[in-house]
Structure 1
Amino acid sequence: MTDIKRRTTPTRPERLRDSSTAPMPRPSHVEEASVPPIPQVDKSNADVASVEYSAYRTGLSNHRTGLSEHRTQLSEYRTDLSEFRTDLSTDRTEMSMRRTGMSFQRTRMSADRTLMSIMRTALSLIGFGFTIFQFFLHLQSSKLMTETSHAPRNFGIALVALGIVMLTLGIAYHVVFMRSLRAERGAMTRDGLIHGKSPYPISLTLITASLLWLLGLAAVASMVFNLNTLG
């Protein structure tokens, strides 16, 4: 029977690069060979009987050797299959760790999108309230409308204040969520559960929201105290 060479197990990067690695081929079936028949010897001739029995034992030994070699081949094949399954399991674990690491990035971007939606709503409220306030202020300064009620002014200030409050809550929620997400990612990275080598930068959306919050404060201050903070 031919000798079977065992496959050399590649390292983890090699397995990731070469996905075509396959186990060794299955050994071919051994043709069934009948056990050598017991010879009919002439017991009266001891020398001839001894030679025939010796030849019979040699045949049995060769038969057992062939079966033993085939069992060895099957054992090596099973071992190789076990190593191949272990490699596949390691690769699946590796990919799972990478997917989990990337899921933190997707969650971070989802939190940024949530904050951006809050910014859009808050900006609409601030802009709409400031526009109403300036429109009625212009009408009053142009003597096109007499100052009989402060309802338009109060309504505009209320819209701007509502936008600022909404933006404040959105920023606070975003900061708390991002801090907990960053802490969870760091803990899982230290435990070796995920790959945390990818950058995790500060949210630009949060910086923009903070600037918009300051702009809203300036707007409401100019409206309430008649300050010329916006030019």
Structure 2
Amino acid sequence: MSLLASALAWLADPDSWSGSGGIPTRLLEHLAYSGLTLLLALAVAVPLGLWVGHTGRGSGVVVALAGALRALPTLGLLTLFTLLLGLGLMPPVVALVLLAVPPILSGAYAGIANVSPALKDAGTALGMTGGQVLARVELPTALPVILGGIRSAALQVVATVTVVAYINLGGLGRYLIDGLAVRDYSRMLGSVVLVALLALAVDAVLALVQRLATSPGLRLAP
């Protein structure tokens, strides 16, 4: 039996879908880790990106910071934070947040910074304050770019959350680590297939959200 056929047989096995170590449980764990990471990254990166894009202050620092964070190896960070903070959920979450922040920060900053000055001036001429211009003019116009950054971060996080199994946590990466330990390559390939399908599903959902949240006028603009 080929490796692919063995992986499909493992995926079709009812035992793989039951129990505390079954695919549904691991899938929920994977989504929980990913969701927590994205929420924390959004809380950090979106306000900072909006402020920098609106005021223009610190734009060089933001670009340099985003580039530097992208260059950091997630597995290396996970090992470092595990040594510093011990085992548990905190080390992988911190490492994954550092992975998710750059695309969200870049998207929020670039989206706001590239809003047409004429639109901002029109809002100011109508008597809007700086905060109102940001909330009512800049943010709706920049929303497609901001959501694009969030989509990019979500894909990276969903794919990389598998590393949390390296420190004995759950998620779909558990099948990779456990399969490698016993040389069960069909289970490992099945895990890769599951992560890829989950990433595609998450991206499809976020693409739909991006489309629904974008103003029809912006979708029709050349």
* TM-score (normalised: structure 2): 0.30
* TM-score (normalised: structure 1): 0.30
Q: Which protein, 1 or 2, shows the higher relative CO under an 8 Å CA cutoff with sep ≥ 6?
A: 2
